């Protein structure tokens, strides 16, 4: 006598669902109503999701692990929308193509995104939004997401909302409120990547922490593939301006992170605190790398619990201490240059001396934050070896374009 799936113990069925990947979960959900409820009762973690909208094209990229992703790109065609779909591969021969009658690629892609991920059982580590900067574009995207505001159950459970470069500048809070379950949201981040033609890995990052919003952290993160003294100068100039312009109710904290090339496993732990007149510079060197916090002296006491609990300040750049997926993801950001040059919103390819990074008016950041040449050289800490910070020509072939 055959045994039916529904007759099996619920703990078994849930255990099976726990082992399924995202698409298999989706397939199982589609088999019956009871399986839909079953799948929705098992939490599934997605470390990162990307959504992009540019020139009428849309991108959904769902990462379920290192080197594991589902990618869908939507573009208009004469009969509707063409969907290019691939899984964990950039091989063109493994990209399948389908057409859909819908002529609205944005509506179609957001519907699919919601269908797949807007559920209480799906916990998204980070949703990264990329958008071209055009008049009305932001409102158009928010409008398609907006039905989510009607019921809380159809919002996304997102821990971190990431904006690429200038995407959604000035309306971060609005989109966060529209699409995120606020109790899950830990913070928001704006990232850009300063690319290099000579390296593929990220070696430095400039982290600027802004005033928290409703308990959600606000971070500006500039990732850098270059090893150029100008980036260091840019950071300290920007930090200096930030400390000068900060209001009384703020306690700004900027961090410059630098990984060692080549690695220095024998590097001894070293800490140094320097008073730079306008700000305090707290530099730590460890085998992982080195990082420098810049802050006003008056804010130091308030940040002390954070400093004392900080074991490694390298963030995404630490191969040892950071989450393996986060490390892999950020180290491979530059691969977009090769695999998907159309989705270039994250790049800040402008020369350093033209770097302008807008965080949006709502965050009260002086803008544009422009790199200033010449006189700012004296802002570089005395202990920074300028020559050592120059890009090394000893680049392995593997890392070259």
Partner 1 sequence: MSCEEPTTSPTPENNITVVSSDGKEFLLDLKLTEQSETLARLISNFEYDRTDVKKDPVPLGNITSAQMQKIIEWLQHHRYYPKWEQNDIHYSTSFTFETWVEEYLNIPNNEMFELLNAANYLNIPRLFSTICRIMASRITGKSAEQIRTVLNIKTDVKNDVYTGIPIQEDSSSSEDGMSEISLSPSPPPI
Residues lying near partner 1 in the complex (CB under 8 A) are found at 2-6, 8-9, 11-12, 15-21, 23-24, 26-28, 30-36, 70, 72, 83, 85, 96-100, 102, 108, 111-112, 114-116
Least separation, in Å, of the C-beta of 141 and partner 1?
17
| 115 vs 26: CA distance, rounded Å | 9
* Angle, vertex CA 78, rays to CA 75 and CA 80, nearest 5: 55
Query: Cβ closer to partner 1: 72 or 233?
Result: 72
Query: Cβ closer to partner 1: 36 or 276?
Result: 36
Question: Would you call 365 helix, strand, or coil by DSSP?
Answer: coil
Query: Cβ closer to partner 1: 27 or 139?
Result: 27
Query: Cβ closer to partner 1: 112 or 380?
Result: 112
Q: Of 110, 144, 198, 168, whose CA–CA distance to 398 is shortest?
A: 198
| 342 vs 301: CA distance, rounded Å | 46
Let me know if 87 is exposed, middle or buried by CB neighbors in 10 A (0-12, 13-18, 19+).
middle
| 279 vs 274: CA distance, rounded Å | 9
Least separation, in Å, of the C-beta of 108 and partner 1?
6
DSSP 209-262: EEEEETTEEEEEEEEE----HHHHHHHHHHHHHHHHH--TT---EEEEEE--SS
Evaluated on CA atoms 303, 309, 311, 315, the torsion sign reads negative
According to DSSP, the residues that pair with 123 across neighbouring strands are 45, 157
Under 8 Å CB-to-CB from 263, ≥6 apart: which residues?
287
Least separation, in Å, of the C-beta of 121 and partner 1?
14
Q: How far is CA 266 from CA 158, 260, 386, in A?
A: 39, 11, 22
Query: Cβ closer to partner 1: 34 or 139?
Result: 34
Contact 126, 187 (CB under 8 A): no
Least separation, in Å, of the C-beta of 16 and partner 1?
5
Query: Cβ closer to partner 1: 6 or 66?
Result: 6
Least separation, in Å, of the C-beta of 137 and partner 1?
23
Least separation, in Å, of the C-beta of 10 and partner 1?
10
Least separation, in Å, of the C-beta of 339 and partner 1?
20
Query: Cβ closer to partner 1: 31 or 41?
Result: 31
| 143 vs 27: CA distance, rounded Å | 29
Least separation, in Å, of the C-beta of 23 and partner 1?
6
Query: Cβ closer to partner 1: 124 or 295?
Result: 124
């Amino acid at each position: 006598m055959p045994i039916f799936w529904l007759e099996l113990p619920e703990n078994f069925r849930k255990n099976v669902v726990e082992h399924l990947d995202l698409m298999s979960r989706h397939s199982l959900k589609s088999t019956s109503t009871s399986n839909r409820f079953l799948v929705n009762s098992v939490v599934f973690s997605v470390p990162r999701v990307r959504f992009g909208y540019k020139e009428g094209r849309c991108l959904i990229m769902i990462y379920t692990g290192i080197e594991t992703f589902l990618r869908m790109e939507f573009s208009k065609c004469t009969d509707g929308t063409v969907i290019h779909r691939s899984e964990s591969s950039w091989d063109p021969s493994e990209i399948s193509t389908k057409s859909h009658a819908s002529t609205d690629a944005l509506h179609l892609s957001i519907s699919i995104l919601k269908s797949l991920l807007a559920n209480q059982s799906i916990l998204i580590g980070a949703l990264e939004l990329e958008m071209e900067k055009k008049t009305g574009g932001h409102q158009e995207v928010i409008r398609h997401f907006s039905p989510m505001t009607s019921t809380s159950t159809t919002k996304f459970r997102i821990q971190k909302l990431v904006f690429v470069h200038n995407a959604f500048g000035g309306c971060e809070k609005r989109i966060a409120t529209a699409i995120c379950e606020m109790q899950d949201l830990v913070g928001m981040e704006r990232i850009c990547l300063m690319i290099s033609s000579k390296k593929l890995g990220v070696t430095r990052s400039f982290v600027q922490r802004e005033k928290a919003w409703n308990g959600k952290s606000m971070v500006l993160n500039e990732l850098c593939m270059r090893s150029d003294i100008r980036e260091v100068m840019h950071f300290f100039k920007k930090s200096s301006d930030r400390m000068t312009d900060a209001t009384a109710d703020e306690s700004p904290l900027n961090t410059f992170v630098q990984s060692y090339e080549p690695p220095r496993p024998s590097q001894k732990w070293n800490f140094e605190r320097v008073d730079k007149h306008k700000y305090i510079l707290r530099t730590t060197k460890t085998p992982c790398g080195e990082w420098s916090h810049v802050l006003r002296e008056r804010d130091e006491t308030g940040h002390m619990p954070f400093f004392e609990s900080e074991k490694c300040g390298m963030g995404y750049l630490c191969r040892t201490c950071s989450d393996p997926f986060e490390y892999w993801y950020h180290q491979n950001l530059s691969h977009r240059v090769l695999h998907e040059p159309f989705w270039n919103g994250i790049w800040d390819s402008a020369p350093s001396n033209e770097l302008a990074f807008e965080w949006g008016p709502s965050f009260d950041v002086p803008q544009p934050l422009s790199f200033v040449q010449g006189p700012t050289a004296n802002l570089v800490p005395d202990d920074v070896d300028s020559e050592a910070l120059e890009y090394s020509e000893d680049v392995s072939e593997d890392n070259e374009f």
